[in-house]
Chain A
Amino acid sequence: MGWLERFFPYILAGISVGGQYALIAIGYTMVYGILRLINFAHGDIFTVAGFFMVYMNATMPLYLSIPLTIILTVILGFAVERAAYKPLRDAPRMSIMISAIGVSYLLQNLMWYVTGGLAKQYPTIPWISSSVTVWVATTKIVTLVTPVLTILLVVLLQQLINHTKIGMAMRAVSRDFETAKLMGIQINRVISVSFIIGSFLAAVGSLLYFSNYATVTPTVGAMPGLKAFVAAVFGGIGSIPGAMIGAFLIGISENLIKALGYSTFSDAFTFALLIFVLLAKPTGLFGEKTIDKV
């Protein structure tokens, strides 16, 4: 049983980081499902949430700073959509993706400006930052909280999407944008809601992620952001449970690669997996089949 003991801490870390990717990935998959846009700025919104917490916590107690961080992140996500994506609704898909890249560039430079480019210490949130020993691994409680919270949020989100009016509208829009519009669905409202949900989950993800990693820098979110997108593609873009499963798989395999001593390739592996999935099964594990008509 030697190998299991050796790998157990890594698997545990993988499940935790997978949960954090999952929370980001849902934002990607919802936006992609509706707008067919890879929201390159999503990873940066996640990072900004980290900085919100850093600055907020310096002046106010936790019970204020955590909800405020989440609210501000949601407002940011909403504002980005209104300012940078809405004016391009009728433009080619390439333009809107370029706009997303521009927003990402802007947010990163803005964070650099505000922080002076230095890494900031993330506040320790009591209880979830304290250590705990599980079998052979010592870890923070946040590692155990993350997967539970992730699954809980995904279940809630599924309820929202399957059993509410706005959820039905979202499903309709992601199925057929034009027809949904003609049926009187308020497209802009649906899009805003999906950005709000995405940003909310990214804020929660950032609370968990940075509690684990302790420092925030302006570019730290770029990689988790891309990986979360890969997770969304892997699970089948547009499918929320798919994104979650994809994220857990990526988190675990990435940490196993680290365990084997190939840390250099942990990022590369994710992308290799992405390319493999795109070529072998472009709709992902749980994606819907789409047929392009001329």
Chain B
Amino acid sequence: MKENKISWFIGLVLLALMFVGLYALEKALPPSTMLFTILKKGVIYALIAVSMNLLNGFTGLFSLGQAGFMVIGAYTYAILTIPVNMRAMIYQYYDGGVVQFALPAIVGLLCAGLVAAFFAFLVGLPVLRLKSDYLAIATLGFAEIIRAFIQYEGLGPLTNGSNLLRRFPSFTGILYPFAAVAICVAVIVLLIHSTYGRALKAIRDDETAAEAMGINLFFHKQFSFVTSSFFAGIGGALLAMYQGSIQAATFKSAMTYEILLIVVIGGMGSITGSIIASFLFVASSEWWLRFLDNEMFIGAFKMPLLRSGFRMVVFSVIIMAVVLLYRRGIMGDKEFNLRRITQHLTGKKGVRHDG
């Protein structure tokens, strides 16, 4: 397995180079550049998309509960890390709230994942017995139930009801989210290459056969569900940091749909696909297609159709085209692999090393 070690080494070098590049970028450009917004949001979406891909692409569990676990993560983080002297102002309708301490941001992030994972464990107990579309609709339902509880007045001292939570610690540069996401994604990749990962893929390919081979279906499904939600929780917390304020009402099922579409565009069962698609998705919806929202004149001729909202129409048409015509997404279930690319370019056919 010497070659495997080399490819890991190359991967680490590339990762280090990426961070050096990001650092240089941050020094070179003013912080308000659009590129940074895209990179920050893109990398957070990448984590969430990868976490969803673990479930939908690698385990074959069609879950639509991602927004629910994100909102748990975001709220856990916010509740635990808002500075004590801010609480009276933020929880003004609830006498400063019940939580009267503040944890460091990094602990808050970890707790966000853990709490989301714990709820996923509880939700998974009944729900994972269901199959395909029933599982989808039940997880979607749970996400809505979670959202309703967070907005419930009775829990106001903890969650601030339907009011905003803000003033929690955030990040300024782009290195922080990139580092956090890189660690999380690395863990997911290691997991997929472990025996657990193989078991998950076996379940995806044929549940009955997997069970016959001695794979404990429920344990592995639950494992995948809890892990995915753990990272969705961290993703939610990072999203909260990125946005600066959170409100349960924004974590709707539409958010889950968006992430699902990212996973599909990238390719079900491809980590690198999800990451690439996240950046493409964020960049094109927030940046590259922006011009479609503004009225444009070429000479005296006013371009038809261009006005606020047209960007999203074009964008969703592109997505539909991918879903219908390009069904396997950008990467299919393959990973971005340097060796394969060099082989392709040099025309040499090497022995395939999978896994």
Contact = CB atoms under 8 A, between A and B. Distances in A.
Interface of A: 36-38, 84, 87-88, 91, 93-95, 97-99, 101-106, 108-110, 112-114, 116-117, 219, 222, 226, 229-230, 233, 264-265, 267-268, 270-272, 274-275, 278-279, 282, 294
A36 B136 CA distance: 13
B273 to A, nearest CB: 15
Nearest to B161: A264
B261 A105 contact: yes
Contacts of A294: 208
Interface residues on B, range: 35 or more
B317 A268 contact: no
Contacts of A265: 148, 152
B140 A226 contact: yes
B312 A98 contact: no
Contact of A113 (B56, B147, B313): B313
A174 B323 CA distance: 26
A229 to B, nearest CB: 7
Given A99-B323, A264-B152, A38 B313 contact: no
24 contacts: A84-B320, A91-B327, A94-B62, A94-B132, A95-B323, A98-B260, A98-B323, A102-B319, A106-B316, A106-B319, A110-B313, A113-B307, A113-B310, A219-B254, A222-B253, A226-B140, A226-B253, A230-B137, A264-B151, A265-B148, A268-B149, A271-B140, A271-B142, A274-B137
A38 B132 CA distance: 11
A153 to B, nearest CB: 25
Contact of B134 (A101, A109, A272, A278): A278
Given A84-B324, A113-B313, A271 B141 contact: yes
A95 B263 CA distance: 12
Given A38-B133, A271-B142, A294-B208, A88 B324 contact: yes
B308 interface: yes
Given A84-B320, A282-B130, A268 B144 contact: yes
A110 B309 CA distance: 8
A37 B147 CA distance: 26
A116 to B, nearest CB: 7
B219 interface: no
B148 A264 contact: yes
Given A93-B133, A113-B310, A104 B257 contact: yes
B141 A272 contact: yes
Contacts of B315: 109
Contacts of B145: 268, 271-272
A271 B134 CA distance: 12
B127 interface: yes
B264 interface: yes
B87 to A, nearest CB: 23
Which 9 residue pairs across A and B have the least CB separation, nearest first? A271-B141, A113-B309, A268-B148, A109-B312, A106-B316, A268-B145, A102-B323, A109-B316, A102-B320
A277 B87 CA distance: 41
A113 B312 contact: yes
Contact of A112 (B140, B253, B312): B312
B114 to A, nearest CB: 24
Contacts of B151: 264
B334 interface: no
Contact of A101 (B56, B130, B260, B310): B260
B144 A271 contact: yes
A97 B320 CA distance: 12
Nearest to A219: B254
Contacts of A272: 141, 145
Interface string B150-162: 0111000000000
Given A98-B323, A102-B261, A275-B127, A36 B133 contact: yes
Contacts of B137: 38, 229-230, 233, 274
B224 to A, nearest CB: 16
B156 to A, nearest CB: 11
B126 interface: yes
Contacts of B140: 226, 271
B312 A93 contact: no
Nearest to B316: A106
Contacts of B141: 230, 270-272, 274-275
Contact of A106 (B56, B138, B142, B313): B313
A116 B308 contact: yes
A49 to B, nearest CB: 19
Given A84-B320, A113-B313, 18 more contacts: A38-B133, A87-B324, A88-B324, A98-B261, A102-B261, A102-B323, A103-B320, A113-B308, A222-B253, A229-B137, A267-B144, A272-B141, A272-B145, A274-B138, A274-B141, A278-B134, A279-B126, A279-B129
Contact of A278 (B62, B130, B260, B324): B130
A267 B141 CA distance: 9
